[in-house]
Structure formats: C-alpha cells, structure tokens
C-alpha cells in the first residue's frame, strides 16, 4: 500500500505543479488544490504504515493520530483559502471578462522597452 500511496503523492505533486504553471486562473486554482491533496497525503503517510486500526484499547497497535489531526487542520485551511481564491478569480472575471493571469508591471515595461506591443493597454 505504501508504494501506491507514494506514487499517488508524486503524481498529485506533478499534476499540481503543471497546472499552477498555466496561465488560466481556474487551472491555477485547481492545481493548488491538487497539490494540497498531495501534501495532506504526505502528512498521513508520516504516521507510519497503512492498514492499522484508527484506535484500539490494546497497546501500541493503532495508527498514529497526530498526523491525522495535522492533516485535518491542513485540509480545513486549504479549503478556506481555495474558496477565497475562487471568489477572487470570479471578481477578476467580472472586471476583465478574461480568465488569464495578467502580465505584471515589470514584464510590461520590459516588453515596452523591447518595442513589442503590450497586451491589455
């Protein structure tokens, strides 16, 4: 199981990173959410091998609860911030009717110096 989980973590990070590097806001938001899932899986795996009971009365035979508590906290935080990001990209769409991330000020300046045309001006 642990190998499957490790592969899943790698896959989630790869997919998240790819999406964050795109220019569409929705893709970035989804990418961040997927990367967050990867991070939560890492936390869960830090608790030890999979397959142990969540709690039991007898001795040390149960799964480590601390990483699960950490993962739970992290999930709640990611959820809240993702909601804010979505609200922000909606606002951006209302203002510009476009889903692309704009060039920042320095990029525009460099483009202007190079004599190219600047998008959105």
Sites of contact with another protein (CB under 8 A): 16, 20, 25, 28, 32, 35-36, 38-40, 42-43, 45-47, 66-67, 70, 73-74, 77, 80-81, 84-85, 88-89, 91-92, 95-96, 101-102, 104-106
Q: How far is the CB of 112 from another protein (least distance, A)?
A: 14
Cβ neighbourhood burial of 66 (10 Å; 0-12, 13-18, 19+): exposed
Nearer to another protein, 63 or 67 (CB): 67
Structure tokens at 22: 């795109």
Rg (C-alpha) for the chain, rounded Å, is: 21
CB of 78 to another protein, least distance (A): 8
Nearest approach, Cβ of residue 108 and another protein (Å): 11
Other CB atoms closer than 10 Å to residue 82's CB: what's the count? 15
Residues paired with 100 in a beta bridge: 24
Two tokens at 56?
Answer: 């039991």
Nearest CA to 95 out of 106, 105, 103, 87 is that of: 87
Minimum distance of another protein from residue 37's CB (angstroms): 10
Nearer to another protein, 54 or 104 (CB): 104
């Amino acid at each position: 199981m642990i190998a499957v989980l490790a592969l899943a973590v790698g896959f989630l990070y790869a997919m998240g990173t790819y999406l964050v590097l795109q220019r569409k806001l929705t893709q970035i938001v989804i990418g961040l959410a997927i990367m967050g899932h990867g991070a939560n899986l890492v936390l869960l795996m830090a608790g030890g091998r999979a397959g142990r009971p969540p709690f039991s009365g007898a001795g040390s035979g149960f799964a480590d609860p601390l990483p699960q508590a950490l993962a739970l906290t992290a999930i709640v935080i990611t959820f809240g911030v993702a909601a804010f990001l979505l609200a922000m990209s909606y606002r951006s769409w209302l203002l510009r009717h476009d889903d692309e991330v704009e060039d920042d000020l320095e990029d525009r300046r460099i483009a202007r110096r190079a004599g190219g045309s600047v998008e959105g001006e």
